[in-house]
Amino acid sequence: MPGWVLRWILNILAIIVTAALLTGFEVSVWGAIVGSLVLGLFNAIIRPVLLILTLPLNIVTLGLFTFVINGLMLWLTSVTVKGFDIHGFGWAILSAAVLSLFSFVISYFVEDRYIELGR
């Protein structure tokens, strides 16, 4: 299985687990699948532009404003995808923080696995 497929499946599971942990984030299985694709597109297209535009604010807050940007990307996904519901911007920021932790762990283990296999 290619690394990106494994990472995508694990990110879908991370979205489902995050929704199970937080009461302000509700997601269906189909919403998690489509939401992960839309979130990936938003993170690839919109997030870099926002990070550049808010660079001075990000420097002043020592990078903490990145959590707000990540929450905004998650909130935009919830507005766009049916079955991917976040109840308020505060929940979006908290959900983004939890998802970031899951993503960090996923990246660590997936990359280590593929480095060990020589891929």
Pairs from 75-81 (Cβ < 8 Å, separation ≥ 24): 76/42, 76/46, 77/35, 77/38, 77/39, 77/42, 78/35, 80/38, 81/31, 81/34, 81/35, 81/38
What pLDDT does 118 receive? Answer: 52
For 56-69, write each residue's pLDDT tens digit: 999 999 999 999 99
For 15-27, write each residue's pLDDT tens digit: 999 999 999 999 9
Q: Is the pLDDT of residue 115 over 60?
A: no
What pLDDT does 4 receive? Answer: 77
Instruction: Find the mean pLDDT for residues 89-113.
Output: 87
Cα(61)–Cα(82) distance, integer angstroms? 33
85 CB-near residues (< 8 Å, 6+ apart): 25, 26, 27, 31, 78
Q: Give the pair of three-digit tokens for residue 62.
A: 């020592």
Q: How confident is the model at residue 3 (pLDDT cuts 50, 70, 90)?
A: confident
